[in-house]
Amino acid sequence: MKKGLTSGLVLLVLGLIAGLLLGVVNAVTAPIIAQNELREKLTALEVFYPDIKTAYDVTEVVVGENGIESIFVLKAKGTDTIVAAVYGVAQMGYKSEVSMLIAVRANGSVEGYAFIGTGGTEGLGLVLNDIDFGMTDAPVGDETSFDAVAGASVTSGGVLACFEAVAARIAAEGLGV
């Protein structure tokens, strides 16, 4: 009994020291890792804004509601004016989720969009980035501008749902919130 208790105590002390040490290292590395991750995401957003790293102050808002995963809010450098917001959004497509980035200007029109993951079957479903859905420059929730691909396994419904989710979010909370 006493032996078992001693062994447990040894492990407990060791665990505490190890935890403390890990906490210290984490405190040093976590901000750097977060910075690296943000830089990587910003590189992905350069598709829409090539000068994103120099001309804008970018903050990431994690949402996790109604398919909106995160919002990157772009403010003009050194100001509080929201210039645009890029929405990371995912909706159910034909076979699985369609994840995409939708960049919306301050006036609510679409700057551009890109697909991260596609929910279509093989063939057209895998080449979503090559398809023009007609939404660039259109108001984000404008279904009449949406050019669905008919008769193919590509998941137009999922793509449209992504635009609708972003439009609903902007209508409810405003741009970038």
Indicate the residue among 3 and 62 with the shorter CB distance to another protein.
3
**DSSP secondary structure string for all residues of 56-116:** EEEEEEEEEETTEEEEEEEEETTS--EEEEEEEEEEE-SSSEEEEEEEEETTSBEEEEEEE
| Residues contributing to the site for another protein (CB under 8 A) | 3, 6-7, 10-11, 14-15, 18, 21-22, 25-26, 28-29, 32-33, 36
Closest to another protein by CB, 5 or 150: 5
* Residue 110 C-beta: closest distance to another protein, Å: 32
Question: What b/e sequence results for 84-96 when a residue is b if at least 16 CB atoms lie within 10 Å of its CB, and e otherwise?
Answer: bbbbbbbbebbeb
Task: Provide φ and ψ at 62, rounded to 5°.
Answer: -85, 125
Residue 99 C-beta: closest distance to another protein, Å = 20
**Both tokens assigned to 136:** 């660039």
Nearer to another protein, 6 or 136 (CB): 6
* Shortest reach from residue 171's CB to another protein, in Å: 38
What's the min distance (Å) between Cβ of 46 and another protein?
A: 18
Q: Which is nearer to another protein, 14 or 76 (CB)?
A: 14
In eight-state DSSP terms, residue 162 is: H
